[in-house]
Amino acid sequence: MQIITALCAFWQSPQARESSLMYDLSFYSRNPQHVELLLQEACRTNPCNYPAWARYLGIKAGGVSDKKKLEYLIQFSKAMPREHNLIHYVANHVLKINPEKVNPYEVYACGVSPDGTPGAEELFIRQFWKKLTADCPEIKTHAVYKEGTTGDFLSLWLEKSKNVKWNSKTKSKAGRAFQQALLALADKEKTFIKVIKSYRRFLIMWDDEKYMMQAHEFVQDHLKNVTNESVKKEMAGMGRKMGVLLKNDKILKMYDKIPGI
């Protein structure tokens, strides 16, 4: 289905034929620089030319660092922001990014569309859960994730884990995963808000001052870098909530200075 939507978007563009021609010509040149230029122009002329992107990215991925590959993935995701399955495929099979050598949550976030479509969010949460349970297998016993799950799995996990005994390791791993995910989602407003609300509910459930303070410190460390006003409001709101729960006037005063909180 994803390939079909990308193909339709490609042919609906008025520059489809020109882009296709430049892609075809790239196979006839013996000059690597000319090949790259033709592919770049094919992608620029029609950003939905997936074959041109795949060949171009396959060439660029040769011999570069995983950090550089992530930059190419971000570039591709901006060209085709609503093609989450293609973005996932490119990350794993074209660019072959090693998630251990970059922030894996940044890779996952590339597939999240600006308007947070259900399919894109499902893919992100699936990868979030897979990474978290690989890092902390104990958490895997909390809930069962079924691929293609619709609805809010994070809320389901929260409900299931209310009857589970959390320890410092599981709290620490889950809290860290939420924080890394939020940093990667800072420009994906809808999904960011969904994830931060879940993180806040887990903090309230744990009722542990250590992790409340960590959440407040996380907000203080990163709030200044946030440009999206809705994201900033949600982050500051969580930080203020931690101040309320901790009954810490000093923390509350920090957030009182932020308008709209």
pLDDT in tens, 91-118: 999 999 999 999 999 999 999 988 888 8
- pLDDT at residue number 10: 60
133 is written with which tokens? Answer: 């349970």
Buried b (16+ CB within 10 A) or exposed e, 72-94: bbeebbebbbbbbbbbbbbbeeb
- pLDDT at residue number 255: 87
- pLDDT at residue number 15: 81
Are 260 and 233 a contacting pair, CB within 8 Å? yes
Last residue of a domain, one of 102, 126, 156: 102
- pLDDT at residue number 6: 64
- pLDDT at residue number 196: 98
Mean residue pLDDT across the chain:
92
Last residue of a domain, one of 50, 72, 102: 102
- pLDDT at residue number 11: 60
Look up tokens 């296709």; give the residue. 20
Give the closest residue to 202 by CA, choosing from 251, 142, 155, 244: 155
Q: Is residue 78 part of a domain?
A: yes
Instruction: State whether 65 and 161 are in the same domain.
Output: no
Q: Is residue 17 part of a domain?
A: yes
Identify the segments of the chain with pLDDT beneath 50. Answer: 1
Residue type, 226: V
pLDDT in tens, 228-246: 999 999 999 999 999 999 9
Collect all residues with Cβ–Cβ distance below 8 Å to 191 and sequence separation of at least 6: 112, 116, 120, 121, 124, 185
Instruction: State whether 142 and 47 are in the same domain.
Output: no
Q: Is residue 173 part of a domain?
A: yes
Report field, pTM of the whole predicted structure over 0.85: yes
Whole domain around residue 12: which residue ranges? 1-102
